[in-house]
Amino acid sequence: MMQFYKKRDFGAFISDTFLFFKENGRNYFKNYLLINGLLLILLVFIFVFGYRELFSQMLGSNTGGQNYYFEAYFQQNSTMLILVSTIAFILFLAVTMVSYSYPILYMKRLSETGNKNIKADEILSDLKNNTVRFVKFFFGLVFIIAPLAMIIFGISFMLIVLLIGFFLLILLGPAMMNVINFLMFDYFHTQKGFFESLSYAVRAQFSYKHGREKSPFWKYWGSTAVIYLMIQMISGIFTFIPLLLMMGGMYTVPQNGGDDNPFQGTMGVLFFIIYGISILVSFIMINVVFINAGLQYYDSRTDLHRNVDLSEIDTIGTHEI
């Protein structure tokens, strides 16, 4: 079984991420789909069928230069759109809660118990027990982390004219992601408050909790950048297909008569179904990012490395030959 609390180098972060799914992927995704599958399907269903007509009217009207049709449609269907948007937001919040906390709680249970046959009801119990903490985390993320991130990235965008902003964006993207991921893992692995975990998340990027080893910043940054780039390339395939359909539909609009909306009929259904699939793929693939982040977090918890090593030494000779 994979050892979680140990020091890893850059290469080990990448290889152990895929080793995790090799050892636990079947159980991991089975529970993930049992817990989150219905919510994901409902979210995609709401998006495909709830917003299909809206985007069809908006894009079709813009194609024909008839914006007033879209404005009239919005006014006539405002109640329905508000209802659909409310349901979609609630579903999105629920899906986000499960998608973000599931890998953290799964790794926590697996690393603490060593049981590779984790049941869905065990994870559900962990999710219920951490609901209040997740709500607190969500508000901290929205009202504290998000504004700070917007300021930092805003300054970096302004500095693009000096070229340094471009390099700052490349540097800050994975680094900011690591801080947020470490914050989540520390917040749900310990009983610390939001700000205490945030402090640890920032400090952990530059130094270990114990010891005087060199800064782990670059191996964390590089690991996140590589994994995220791989995920974006895979997810981008599904995003690129509906984009091609949209562009193709706009350039094949009939010039004389006929329906000038490229998103009606089969084209519209195909566009939104593929886009719905891309949403599903994005939510599923983000698990790879979180598992990689978890291995980084366990690497940073050097205070627990010795405890794990000692427990393994204690078990030597206790197994039957």
Domain ranges for the chain, please list them. 10-248+258-313
34-68 pLDDT, tens digit per residue, is: 998 888 888 777 777 766 666 665 555 554 555 55
Assess whether pLDDT exceeds 80 at residue 32: yes
Please determine, for residue 260, whether its predicted confidence score (pLDDT) is greater than 80. Answer: no
pLDDT of 100 higher than 80: yes
Q: Is the pLDDT of residue 108 over 50?
A: yes
Residue 104 has pLDDT above 50, yes or no: yes
- pLDDT, average across residues 151-164: 84
Q: What is the pLDDT of residue 222?
A: 96
Residue 53: predicted pLDDT: 62
Please give the DSSP secondary-structure letter assigned to residue 319: S
How far from 309 is each of 3, 124, 130, 302, 317, CA to CA, in Å? Answer: 10, 30, 29, 11, 15
**pLDDT attached to residue 84:** 77
**Residues 152 and 168: beta-carbon distance below 8 Å:** no
Q: Which token pair is 243?
A: 């984009």
- The Cα–Cα gap between 208 and 217 comes to 10
Alpha-carbon span 122 to 120, nearest angstrom:
5
Residue range 9-20: average pLDDT?
96
Residues 6+ apart with CB under 8 A from 226: 14
Q: Look at the alpha carbons of 21, 301, 114, 134 in this order and tell me if their dihedral is positive or negative.
A: negative
Confidence of residue 70 (pLDDT cuts 50, 70, 90): low
Q: What's the longest Cα–Cα distance across the chain?
A: 84
Task: Provide the H-helix boundaries in 46-130.
Answer: 52-63, 67-76, 78-113, 120-129
**What pLDDT does 262 receive?**
54
Evaluate if residue 185 carries a pLDDT over 70: yes
Q: For 71-84, what is the mean pLDDT?
A: 73
Instruction: Map tokens 């000096």 to a residue.
Output: 162
Q: Name residue, tokens 């010891």.
A: 211
Residue 209's nearest CA partner among 240, 193, 236, 186 is 186
pLDDT the model gives residue 281: 84
The predicted-structure confidence for 203-245, as pLDDT tens digits, reads as follows: 999 988 766 678 999 999 999 999 999 998 887 777 676 667 6
In sequence order, what DSSP letters do the residues of 124-149 get, joined into one string?
HHHHHHTHHHHHHHHHHIIIIIHHHH
Residue 186 or 47, more confident: 186
The residue type found at 233 is M
Residue with tokens 């817990």: 35
Q: Single out the residue of 296, 290, 235, 228 nearest to residue 99, CA to CA.
A: 290
Token pair in block for residue 110:
């697996």
Give pLDDT, residue 299.
Answer: 96
Higher pLDDT, 97 or 122: 122
Asked whether residue 23 carries a pLDDT value surpassing 60, the answer given is yes
Q: Calculate mean pLDDT across residues 266-288.
A: 79
Q: What number is the average pLDDT over the span 256-279?
A: 64
Answer whether residue 69 shows pLDDT above 90.
Answer: no
Measured distance CA(20)–CA(119) in Å, rounded: 17
CB-based burial of residue 151 (10 Å sphere; 0-12 exposed, 13-18 middle, 19+ buried)? exposed
| Per-residue pLDDT band at 319 (split at 50, 70, 90) | very low
Provide the pLDDT for residue 163. 77
| pTM above threshold 0.95 | no
Q: Specify the pLDDT at position 277.
A: 80
Q: Which tokens in the block code for residue 80?
A: 């329905």
Q: What is the pLDDT of residue 150?
A: 92
Q: Tell me which residue has tokens 């593929």.
A: 274
Res 320: pLDDT: 45
